[in-house]
């Protein structure tokens, strides 16, 4: 989807002033791109209509940069479609118990996401309890126990012979007696929407006070995800949605449609199998990502939570001046290592998504890269231009790698510099929102 839209907008950008016909033609392409991305047909139609209404007319025609105006409108409408604001899971005060129930089909990611949320809540100072209400698959209890242990969060289970309602009731008692203040019910899914499952969930909702019912759905199922969300929302009252597997390649279809169809906010997005891979959902950032502008803000957030601010600023200066050397590369690789991998990081840079195929950067290369850089003299690291063919040979020998690996690294440094310049060039947009000024 991003590639397609990028092309559409590239055309718009190069045109300068737009005619009414141009706007219409571009929106037709936007429509095709959205449909291809598996966005719900009704949602697309509605979307195109509202954009057309705003784009075709005085505003655009009188604007100095009509192309930008259309991008702005498409972007704003996408944000509106996805709910405009970031929404958190609503929790009661710490001295009051909050009960969260996870709902969704089998394999959607309920168990994994329960543990991810528990970790987030724990980090915020809450005392969560994970509860195994999936009594159909014995392995499910074990899975929750393993994940709970990884997060350092207690898991409550009663084996697989109990009724989920009884388990939930007992878990609440257990939480109260043990000074725990958030109960997360990991329920059982089915492969398809079915009556027994819905009844089971409805029974829990009837028997205990569920504060938040969170619907978990696999984003990679695209259009299906929207239909499933619709039936869950009709049969049990949902409070929010979590889209999992957004690290897969469908980067928009489901997010764009689900909010519109259910009217329920997307709370988080799952970005991988690791328990740290759960990110806040930002409609504006998601819109930018879909529009192929890269998710700069998420990237900056991610970086800021790990890199000490001063270092980041220094790095930013270097990027702007393009004096980025091997020492910096080594340092940032180490930081990136703690941030979920380099491919993940790079894919968030504007326009890099599509280029990433051509850059071979994978986490397992870290140690070899490290060896190569450590075989360089400090001067060579600071000033990569110094490295002529004979120095390259020496470095390769010192690191015990093939000469081609040193060349590959040089190319990677160049490519990173290039990307980072692009990143630097996009910073004013982020600055406008008060970051990285």
**163-192 binders of ligand GDP (CB under 6 A):** 189
| Choice between 6 and 112, CB closer to ligand GDP | 112
Report whether 270 belongs to an annotated binding site. no
| Choice between 77 and 295, CB closer to ligand GDP | 295
DSSP code at position 96: S
Query: For the sheet containing 212-218, what is the strand order?
Result: 155-156, 128-132, 182-186, 98-103, 212-218, 240-244, 266-270, 278-280
177: Cα within 13 Å, side-chain hemisphere: 7
Report whether 188 belongs to an annotated binding site. yes
Report whether 245 belongs to an annotated binding site. yes
Report whether 374 belongs to an annotated binding site. no
Residue 162, binding choice from ligand GDP, Mg ion, none, Cβ under 5 to 8 Å by partner class: none
Contact stretch for ligand GDP (CB under 6 A) within 17-25, 244-252, 355-363, 391-399: 244-252
- Choosing from 2, 87, 111, 332, the residue that interacts with Mg ion (CB under 5 A) is 111
Structure tokens at 420: 């980072």
**111-130 binders of ligand GDP (CB under 6 A):** 111-112
What is the rounded distance in angstroms from the CA atom of residue 14 to the CA atom of residue 29? 16
- Minimum CB distance to ligand GDP, residue 419 (Å): 24
Which residues lie across from 136 on neighbouring strands?
none
Phi, psi of 244 (to 5 degrees): -100, 170
**255-294 binders of ligand GDP (CB under 6 A):** 270-273, 277
- What is the chain's length? 437
What is the rounded distance in angstroms from the CA atom of residue 401 to the CA atom of residue 385? 20
Report whether 111 belongs to an annotated binding site. yes
- Minimum CB distance to ligand GDP, residue 83 (Å): 20
Find the helix packing angle between 296-306 and 283-290, rounded to 10°.
120
Size of the site for ligand GDP (CB under 6 A): 17
Q: Which CA distances in Å does 301 have to 218, 258, 312, 332?
A: 25, 25, 11, 15
If you write DSSP's letter for every residue of 7-40 in order, what string do you get? Answer: HHHHHHHHH-S--HHHHHHHHHHHHHHHHHTT--
| Choice between 23 and 255, CB closer to ligand GDP | 255
| Choice between 71 and 201, CB closer to Mg ion | 201
- Minimum CB distance to Mg ion, residue 246 (Å): 19
Q: Which residue number places its CB atom closest to ligand GDP?
A: 270
Contact stretch for ligand GDP (CB under 6 A) within 72-80, 109-117, 118-126, 254-262: 109-117
- Minimum CB distance to ligand GDP, residue 261 (Å): 20
Structure tokens at 225: 């995800």
In sequence order, the 6+-apart residues with CB closer than 8 A to the CB of 387 are 376, 380, 395, 410
Report whether 190 belongs to an annotated binding site. yes
- Please report whether residue 114 would count as binding Mg ion according to CB under 5 A: no
Size of the site for Mg ion (CB under 5 A): 3
The residue to which tokens 């029974």 are assigned: 203
251-284 burial, b at 16+ Cβ within 10 Å, e below that, comes to: bbbbbbbbbbbbebbbbbbbbbeebebbbebbbb
- Choosing from 13, 17, 84, 107, the residue that interacts with ligand GDP (CB under 6 A) is 107
- Please report whether residue 244 would count as binding ligand GDP according to CB under 6 A: yes
Report whether 98 belongs to an annotated binding site. no
Residues that bind Mg ion (CB under 5 A): 110-111, 140
Q: Which residues bind ligand GDP (CB under 6 A)?
A: 104, 106-112, 189, 244-245, 247, 270-273, 277
Annotated binding residues: 104-111, 186-190, 244-247
């Amino acid at each position: 989807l991003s590639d397609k839209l990028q092309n559409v907008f590239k055309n718009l950008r190069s045109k300068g002033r737009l005619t009414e016909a141009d706007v219409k033609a571009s929106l037709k392409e936007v429509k095709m791109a959205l449909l291809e991305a598996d966005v719900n047909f009704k949602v697309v139609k509605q979307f195109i209509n509202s954009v057309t209404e705003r784009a075709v007319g005085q505003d655009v025609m009188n604007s100095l940069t009509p192309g930008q105006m259309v991008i702005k409108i498409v972007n704003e409408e996408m944000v509106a479609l996805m709910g405009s604001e970031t929404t958190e899971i609503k929790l009661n005060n710490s001295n009051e118990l909050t009960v969260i129930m996870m709902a969704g089909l089998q394999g959607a990611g309920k168990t994994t996401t329960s543990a991810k949320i528990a970790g987030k809540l724990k980090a915020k100072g809450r005392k969560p309890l994970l509860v195994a209400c999936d009594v159909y698959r014995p392995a499910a209890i074990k899975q929750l126990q393993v994940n709970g242990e990884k997060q350092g969060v207690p898991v409550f289970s009663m084996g697989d012979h109990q009724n989920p309602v009884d388990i939930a009731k007992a878990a609440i008692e257990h939480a109260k007696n043990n000074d725990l203040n958030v109960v997360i019910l990991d329920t059982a899914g089915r492969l398809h929407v079915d009556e027994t499952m819905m009844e089971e969930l409805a029974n829990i909702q009837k028997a205990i006070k569920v504060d938040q019912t969170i619907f978990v759905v696999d984003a990679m199922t695209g259009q299906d995800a929207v239909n499933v969300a619709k039936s869950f929302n009709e049969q049990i009252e949902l409070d929010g949605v979590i889209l999992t597997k957004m690290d897969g390649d469908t980067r928009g279809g489901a997010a764009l449609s689900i909010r519109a169809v259910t009217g329920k906010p997307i709370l988080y997005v799952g970005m991988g199998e690791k328990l740290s891979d759960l990110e806040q959902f930002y409609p504006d950032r998601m819109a930018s990502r879909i529009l192929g502008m890269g998710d700069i803000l998420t990237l900056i957030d991610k970086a800021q939570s790990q890199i000490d601010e001063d270092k980041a600023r220094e790095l930013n200066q270097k990027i702007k001046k393009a004096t980025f050397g091997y020492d910096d590369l080594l340092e940032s690789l180490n930081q990136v290592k703690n941030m979920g991998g380099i491919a993940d990081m790079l894919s968030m840079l504007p326009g890099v998504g599509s280029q990433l195929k051509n850059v071979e950067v994978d986490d397992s290369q870290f140690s070899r890269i490290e060896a190569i850089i450590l075989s360089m003299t400090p001067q060579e690291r600071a000033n990569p231009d110094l490295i002529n063919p004979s120095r390259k040979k020496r470095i390769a020998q010192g690191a015990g790698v093939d000469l081609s690996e040193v060349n590959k690294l040089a190319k990677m440094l160049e490519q990173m510099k290039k990307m980072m310049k692009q990143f630097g060039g996009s910073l004013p947009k982020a600055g406008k929102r008060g970051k990285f000024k």
